[in-house]
Structure 1
Amino acid sequence: MIKSKLINAIPFVFSLAIIFIILYLLDTFQPQAQQKKYQENHLKVFVERSNQKVTQLYAHSQGEVVPKQQVELKSQVDGRITYVAPELVAGGHFAKGQTLLKIDDRDYKLEVIQREAKVAQTKQNLERVKAQARIAKQELAELGRDNANALARGLPQLAHAEAEVKAAQALLQKAQLNLSRTVVVAPFEGVIRKESVSIGQQISRNSNLATLYATEIMEVSLALNGNDLAIINIPIDYYQEDYNQGIDVELSAELGGNLLKWPAKVVRAGGQFDTRTRTLNVIAEVKAIKSLPQILPGLFVTAKITGKQVDNATVLARTSVRPNNRIWYVDNHNQLQVTNINPVQRNNEFIVVTGLADNTKVVVSSLVAPLPGTAVTAIYKEQEEIAQIDAKASDIQISDLTSVAAVSASKTP
């Protein structure tokens, strides 16, 4: 019986032996894992090198163009309009001294004739009074009355006659002036902004005829805050009588996809601060230049005002400046560091700073919870732009190849 049990256990023992042999072989000949050297994964950041130089600062503002000289043309006499110049329309150009309209002058000519007759009459009366005064003087001398009063000598009569002549002459001059006012002439060279006249229209004194403005000089009022005033470095009561000595300004406006520019000069300050915005308006004048398009009233323009120059300044991307006027930069050991900067001027794209060493690798990419001393890999912004250009070029080439392949496929029968 024991022998029978031993015979039955032989397969089980044989199986265990095979299992142990297999495990031994697997343990002896198992593949060894390849060990790789640990490489630290550095954070990649985009940087740009700082470049110290003399930097020109500009103040920026906007404003509406208005004429420096504009008048409301009014009638100085009553009457019916008999002539209107072809240029007396909205947008019409006229020259200085040009006749713009005429008023019926017949009544005024008749009045001049009447006044001339009155002058002649008073002069005749003056001569008669003078003769009477001479006769009275002779008679008094013959009678030996050297102390006769002024009335006996005819002096009051003579003064009255002379006054009547002057009064008649004044009325004649007034009549002649009214006659001349029946012809309305342009006071300067310019453009008609609006008009309200027509031939045959009856007008009265002080009737509005037209609005004219001179094209020689236009003005733009530009609002500046305290920082802008510091940049252009002018006093708040600035006034420059000589146009050529004013502060340079470049005015620009986009019309129909074209960018138009005009040179101008800041010649004076507005004289008061705006109580709502606390800004000071400065006035820029634009002189007409034949080689440039005429700048028109109502046009909204952007102004670039030349300010002072700053030595050893650096222009950085706006994204490189962190809160509290700090920047992150990469040092010579390729580690992140932080420092403070002194901003001089900033806009939506750039910031001008001082106090930054030359050739500093300034970080322009965004950082999440950065720490000084963090190891980084610096990628220059120029390399990023080149890579983007190459990627765009590759996309264009792939697109072109795809189009060629599609055309070829369509031609294959």
Structure 2
Amino acid sequence: MYIYNHHFVNGTMFILRMLPPLVVLAVSAGICYWIFWSEPAPRKFPQKETLPEVSVYTLEPIDYQVWLHSQGTVQARTESSLVSEVRGKVVNVAPAFRVGGFFEQGETLLEIDKRDYETAVLSAEATLARARLALAEEEANAAQARTDWERLNPGVEPPELVSRKPQLAQAKADVASAEARVENASLNLERTTITAPYAGRILEKRVDIGQFVNSGSVLAEIYAVDYAEIRLPLSEREIGYINVPELYRNDSNPVLPMPTVNLTTTIGNETLHWAGRIVRAEGAFDVQSRQLFFVAQVDDPYRKQGDGRPPLKVGSFVQAQIEGEVLEDVIVIPRELYRKNEYVVVIEDDGILRRKSIEIEWSDEESLVVSSGLNPGDRVCLTHLSFPSEGMKVAVVSEDGIDVANKSAHQGADAKQVVR
């Protein structure tokens, strides 16, 4: 007897529906497995070590010119007050007698009323004439008295009063006094004309025409224009690098080549230059700054220049570059190669980096003169490395401005030529 089981029928139908998808999944999985495991293994290439690339230059001893830097204010070599030696009214003023005016030595700057002094000269000359007349009369009287005495007392020396010696001495003294008065009156008359004591310029004007001045009144402040001087301070360390002869008591000024000085100042947007020389050192250190002042001199600073450059005016502030000694056979490096002000990076022949401490003999804004720590032939690293550790390996790509590859090629070509 056949029994219909619907549960069995339903399960069979479910299996038949699910079987195709399962077969597809199984086949796909097999294909993926086969593709994955049958793919050839990737080739492995050896990794090359990447080294920091640097440029170097080889140290060689050179002669280094030291330049000392300072600054100062331009001053006149000679400054003085123009003073009246007589009293009176100013009656004439020269066109140059104004602030900033130039004048030459002996030039008349102003005149004081002369009439009183001309009268004084005439009066003194009249007094001198009377004194000379009195002297002549006294000399005649003395000669007559001596003649009379000798006639009455032959062979006997007359007394001084009889020979009129005291009267004659007084008459001579009166003549000398009158001559001195004439000379003094003439000198005062000359002093009414105020002349320039040297070639110079008016710094400050104190009087003008029509003004009454007394003896000793300051008429103007003036200064000489033949030279300009600048006091330049140098420290005790810097003094050791400048050649200026010392001055000693009872010793004549040494005639030696003095250091040159380059002076610069800025006016507006233009930088101007002058050349001068050190002429002397002052005799004492400044007790506060411990500096010694050296005096630079510029000849004829107000002469008109062919390039249209303005004159070097008194009161100008200038920067100075002073010629110092020449250091012979020294090692010099750029200042930026002194890393952190602690060490210099040197690359050895095998490419190993070394950090060397140095001692500095001289330094300025751009260069360092090394006294110890570096040697001729050392290769100094020019490339900035973020972390230059001691002993690290680097690749030198440029040496003394020449690519290492090109340098090797040139050396190979030279060797071939030698073999041929």
Bin the TM-score by the shorter chain: 0.7 to 0.9
Tell me the residue number matched to 2:407: none
Counterpart contact for 2:245–2:254, Cα < 8 Å: no
State the distance in 1 between where 2:220 and 2:133 align: 46
Partner AA of 1:370 in structure 2:
P
Counterpart contact for 2:247–2:253, Cα < 8 Å: no
| Count of residues in correspondence between the two structures | 384
Partner AA of 1:255 in structure 2:
I
Tell me the residue number matched to 1:332: 349
Counterpart contact for 1:325–1:343, Cα < 8 Å: no
State the distance in 2 between where 1:157 and 1:347 align: 85
Is residue 312 of structure 1 aligned with residue 324 of structure 2?
A: no
SS in 2 for 1:58: strand
Is residue 92 of structure 1 aligned with residue 105 of structure 2?
A: no
Identity of aligned residues (%): 30
- Summarize the Cα distance change of 1:358–1:136 in structure 2 as closer, same or farther, 3 Å threshold: same
Cα deviation, residue 154, structure 1: 1.4
Task: Find the partner of 2:288 among 272, 276, 280.
Answer: 276
Partner AA of 2:165 in structure 1:
L
Tell me the residue number matched to 2:207: 197
Radius of gyration: which is bigger? 2
Query: After the TM superposition, which residues 12-411 of structure 1 pair with which residues of structure 2 at under 5 Å, given as runs?
Result: 14=23, 17-18=26-27, 21-22=30-31, 24-30=33-39, 32-45=41-54, 47-144=56-153, 146-234=156-244, 237=247, 241=253, 245-288=257-300, 290=303, 292=305, 293=309, 294-322=311-339, 326-354=343-371, 356-358=374-376, 360-364=378-382, 366-378=384-396
Counterpart contact for 1:96–1:187, Cα < 8 Å: yes
Partner AA of 1:121 in structure 2:
R
SS in 1 for 2:174: helix
Counterpart contact for 1:68–1:219, Cα < 8 Å: yes
State the distance in 2 between where 1:39 and 1:324 align: 35
Tell me the residue number matched to 1:387: none
Cα deviation, residue 131, structure 1: 1.9
1:7-44 Cα distance to aligned partner (Å, 9 max, x none): 95984985885476256324413463453432333234
Counterpart contact for 2:243–2:259, Cα < 8 Å: no
State the distance in 1 between where 2:247 and 2:370 align: 29
- Summarize the Cα distance change of 1:271–1:202 in structure 2 as closer, same or farther, 3 Å threshold: same
State the distance in 1 between where 2:201 and 2:285 align: 32
- Summarize the Cα distance change of 1:305–1:329 in structure 2 as closer, same or farther, 3 Å threshold: same
* Structure 2 unaligned regions, length at least 5: 1-6, 402-420
- Summarize the Cα distance change of 1:84–1:280 in structure 2 as closer, same or farther, 3 Å threshold: same
Cα deviation, residue 118, structure 1: 0.8
Partner AA of 2:79 in structure 1:
Q
SS in 1 for 2:240: helix
